[in-house]
Amino acid sequence: MKFGVVVFPGSNCDADCFYVLNNVLNCNTKYIWHKDTKLNDFDCIVLPGGFSYGDYLRTGAIARFSPVMSELFNFVKKGKFVIGICNGFQVLLESGILSGAMLRNKNLNFICKYVYIKVENKNTPFTKFCTKEILKIPIAHKDGNYYIDSQGLEELKENNQIIFRYSDKNGNISQDTNPNGSIYNIAGIINKEANVLGMMPHPERSSESILGSSDGILIFKSIIKWLSKR
């Protein structure tokens, strides 16, 4: 299997994602420049965190028009897998590949800290082989307040598209465990076809125990194991 990590101008987590996939998990991994449009050789593409195009206008608003994104639509339609992390999640929302939008954090500040997220749906390629229900993974964002209207939220619930919710270490979910104001404590969602994941926490920053947690690697391992069984 082969992973691709997209590099937008302003990306700053692309090297982290590449390192985890290539060096820690020993997967065939290549960088994809934002102007590249040849994606057929890849099984899974990662849109990394950072500040694509300086986050001008809105987070992800300009990256959404990068040449690679037009081909990404076709990539998704073919049933191949995409993971959008933090800014990558924002790009997926701006492009309409995932539903909803990101608002400024409720406290209007940049937040960088470890949080706990509860796996709400374990029957997805990204969570099927997670060995934990509660994951300790860091966030680092100023615009991570996920919003969707009431009808959209109900659709996410009905289709089991809500994958991660902010919780405490015991899995309790409340406003006190919500770091940014996201509706329904949502930290990550998938599309209806379950081949696109968007999440605000950074699994690549918690993929080795030396970083304070290795829970994030479970998400990458799950997709690798899923792909190996296809």
Where in the sequence numbering do the catalytic residues fall? Answer: 86, 202, 204
Q: Are 227 and 74 in contact (CB under 8 A)?
A: no
Which of 161, 162, 204, 155 is closest to 48 using CA atoms? 204
Cα dihedral across residues 211, 140, 163, 78: positive or negative: negative
The DSSP code for 96 is T
Which of 117, 120, 115, 102 is closest to 190 using CA atoms? 120
**How many Cβ atoms are within 10 Å of 91's Cβ, its own excluded?**
27
